[in-house]
Amino acid sequence: MARIEKTVFISYRRADVYTALAVYENLKNQGYDVFFDYRSISSGDFEQIITSNIRARAHFVLILTPTALDRCNEPGDWLRREIELAIDEKRNIVPLFFKGFRFGAASKSGVSRWLRGVKPEVLTGKLRHLTRYNGLNVHEDYFEEAMNRLRTEYLNKPLDTVLHPVSMEVRKVVKEEQKAADEALKLREKANGSVKQVGKTPLDEKESPKPVTSTPQTIERSGKRRAPAKIFPYRLEVGLLVFLGLCLWGGISLWNNLSFNTTESTQIPDVIRTHALQPASTNTLSATKTLIPPTPTLGIGSTMIGKDRMTLLYVPAGEFTMGSEDGRDNEKPIHTVYLDAFWIDQTEVTNAMYSECVVDGVCENPRSGGSNTRDFYFRASAFDNYPVIHVSWEDAKTYCEWVDRRLPTEAEWEKAARGDDDRSFPWGNQTPHDGILNYNSNVGDTTEVGTYPDGASPYGALDMAGNVWEWVADWFGETYYASSQDSNPLGSDSGEYRVARGGAWYDDDDSVRSADRGWDNPTDTTNYIGFRCAMDATP
């Protein structure tokens, strides 16, 4: 365990699990030993584990929303029992107020008035003491600032005023349970690829984990010229041999006929087809030439790393069939399109990536910091690897330009999603189900990018069906396909709406087809539209 002054127990109502998760991730990332039963309990005696962990930790962080305490008038309510035990154990209790929750001012009777839906009858017994504790208001737009105050002010009290002796036997049990739970968590997250809401129950051992497939190896794009190893030492040795030869034979003609290539070696391209990478030979070097590595051939499976550490996938030049005769009218007629080779992001741009652009002063903050079910999303580290939302078309365009890329055209997006074999979905023609994409409100919100590897496109692009709609470069035209260019089309010349592709977490089967066309006002922002970027493939 960490030092006792950095040990925390998080208490929360099941409905507020994502809010609690955001607090947990923040404290965990700052070196705190945090007990949070959503992540920590995998098996064993649930009551014993909860009780032991409250007693073994110095701080008791209580997540309070307007309805969190409604059931606390029930004697067996777990949240009530946790609060009462923390009071008995004299722990440092820190209430965090979310969604406008607050304790009211004291009335003439001495009993506090509870606001924002909190019923007076829950203030019974030891729970009356809650109003004595100094709480911290947490607003979604200032989450990180509030967490900084939590760590530096509220969790920084003198320990001799809050700690109660804890036996070594109990600490040993807690340590063993925590170790076992952490191992179970690692296995579970590796299998599932995303966090699932389980609330205050042990992890369901009957749940089948999702298969995980390895992603292609990538070579970071550094932009620096790299030379084959050991060239310089060999040049010295070769030069010495030549000098000795001149002295022994006096063959001045040897010097005239011996040719050294003293120019820099050919630059190794930034992107290498990963499965064709071969180690350089270290045998005998010719005295008359510098080794020049072969020029790699790009193809399906080639990857590179962008400025924002995004993995980009290579989509070869060629034709594909765009549109669908079985779809909506704006998807007709189907037509053959030729596209030059290009690169496309493997996933949607994430909160963490976009936040760097905001910090750099180039991008605007998303219009909201929350998501469909979460009050804290963009600024909560727990969701760093989730798709950024509440961004307009202009916001998406600005970000892509900041990382030296651009929004994909509608044609590029569709080819990257469905390949050149006229499939209906990225994975093929199989009917969608919740094991290969986030759709149909089966999750009810966004999921971590890359959660569904079995739903990958022929080029390896992930989440191109479901999760969030994705802005693309084109203006939307209802009848555009009837007059579309057959080579590198750029969409309508003007319009009122911009195209969005891919469907979102709430959409049905029909809207997550690769040929389906969505559109929205380019200035609008929602909790179901994000984006990914693309770039030209230069020789």
Quote the CA–CA distance of 377 and 526 in Å, as a whole number: 13
Distance CA 299, CA 313 (A): 9
Q: What are the domain boundaries of the chain?
A: 4-192, 215-295, 306-536
Tell me the residue length of the chain: 539
- Buried b / exposed e over 448-466, threshold 16 CB at 10 Å, is bbbbbbebbbbbbbbbbbb
Question: What mean pLDDT is reported for the chain?
Answer: 76
Pairing of strands 311-315, 303-305: antiparallel
The per-residue pLDDT for 294 is: 56
Ranges 86-95, 217-226, 399-408, 448-457: which has the least confidence: 217-226
The tokens for 205 are 């051992």
- At residue 271, the 3 state secondary structure works out as coil
What is the per-residue pLDDT across 513-536, written as a single tens digit (0 to 9) for each?
999 999 999 999 999 999 999 999
pLDDT tens per residue, range 19-29: 888 898 889 88
C-alpha span between 307 and 504 (Å, rounded) = 27
For 271, the token pair is 């992107």
Q: What is the pLDDT of residue 104?
A: 54
The pTM of this model reads 0.59
Note the pLDDT of residue 387.
Answer: 98
Write down the pLDDT at residue 279. 34
Q: Model confidence over 284-334: pLDDT tens digits?
A: 333 344 445 555 788 998 999 999 999 999 999 999 999 999 899 999 999
In DSSP terms, which residues pair with 320 in a beta bridge? 337
pLDDT band at residue 380 under the 50/70/90 scheme? confident
Residues with Cβ within 8 Å of residue 356, at least 6 apart in sequence: 308
- Above pLDDT 90, what percent of the chain? 47
Q: For residues 365 and 391, what is the distance between their CA atoms, to the nearest angstrom? A: 8
Distance of alpha carbon 422 from alpha carbon 515, whole angstroms = 10
Cβ-contact 355, 143 below 8 angstroms:
no
More confident residue, 508 or 225: 508
**Higher local confidence (pLDDT), 139 or 95:** 95
User: What pLDDT is stored for residue 123 in this prediction?
Assistant: 65
Q: Between 248 and 418, where is the model more confident?
A: 418
Whether omega for the bond prior to residue 202 falls within 30 degrees of 0, making it cis, is: no
The amino acid occupying position 400 is C
Average pLDDT over residues 128-155: 86
Nearest-angstrom CA–CA distance, 248 and 237? 17
- Rounded to whole angstroms, the Cα distance separating 474 from 322 reads 15
Residue 178: per-residue pLDDT: 57
Looking at residue 163, its pLDDT comes to: 54
Strand order in the sheet with 303-305: 303-305, 311-315, 342-345, 534-536
Q: Measured between alpha carbons, how far is 9 from 28 in angstroms, rounded to an integer?
A: 12
Residue 127 is predicted with a pLDDT of 80
pLDDT, mean of residues 195-220: 30
- 203, two tokens: 């992890």
Question: What span, in angstroms and rounded, lies between the C-alpha atoms of 139 and 356?
Answer: 21
For the ranges 115-124, 135-144, 222-231, 446-455, the lowest mean pLDDT is seen at 222-231
DSSP result, 27-59 = HHHTT-EEE-HHHH--SS-HHHHHHHHHHT-SE
Nearest residue to 194 (alpha-carbon basis) of 348, 309, 39: 39
| Most confident listed range (134-143, 179-188, 240-249, 342-351) | 342-351
Return the minimum-mean-pLDDT range out of 50-54, 102-106, 155-159, 170-174.
Answer: 102-106
Which tokens go with 220? 């970071």
The CA distance from 464 to 467, in Å, is 8
Chain-centroid distance, C-alpha 65: 26
> Whole-angstrom Cα distance, residue 189 to residue 170?
28
357 pLDDT band, cuts 50/70/90, is very high
Provide CB contacts within 8 A for 224, sequence distance 6+.
Answer: none
CB within 8 A of 278, min separation 6: which ones?
none
Beta 311-315 vs 342-345: how paired, if at all?
A: antiparallel
Q: Given pLDDT bands bounded at 50, 70 and 90, which one contains residue 48?
A: confident
Band (222; pLDDT cuts 50, 70, 90): very low
Q: Categorize the per-residue pLDDT at 121 as very low, low, confident or very high, splitting at 50, 70 and 90.
A: low
**pLDDT given for residue 18 in this prediction:** 82
For the record, the structure tokens of 335 come out as: 């037509």
Residue position matching structure tokens 């911290």: 136
Instruction: Give the pLDDT confidence score for residue 142 in this predicted structure.
Output: 83
Take residue 495 and report the two structure tokens written for it. 């319009």
pLDDT in tens, 229-282: 332 333 334 344 444 444 444 444 433 433 333 333 333 333 333 333 333 333
| Phi, psi (deg, nearest 5) at residue 52 | -65, -40
Residue 496 has pLDDT above 80, yes or no: yes
Interatomic CA distance for residues 509 and 326, integer angstroms: 13
Overall average pLDDT of the 5-34 stretch = 88
Residues 381-392 pLDDT 10s: 889 999 999 999
What is the C-alpha to C-alpha distance for residues 146 and 451, in angstroms, rounded to an integer? 30
Q: Do residues 312 and 349 touch, judged by C-beta distance below 8 A?
A: no
pLDDT tens column, 63-109: 998 888 888 887 778 888 899 999 988 889 999 999 888 765 333 34
Of 90 and 221, the structure prediction assigns the larger pLDDT to: 90
Q: Which fold is adopted by the domain 4-192?
A: Rossmann fold (3.40.50)
Residue whose structure tokens are 């003198």: 158
- 306-536: CATH topology is paralog of FGE (formylglycine-generating enzyme) (3.90.1580)
pLDDT band at 212 (very low <50, low <70, confident <90, very high): very low
Q: In 3D, which of 391, 395, 386, 452 has the Cα closest to residue 425?
A: 452
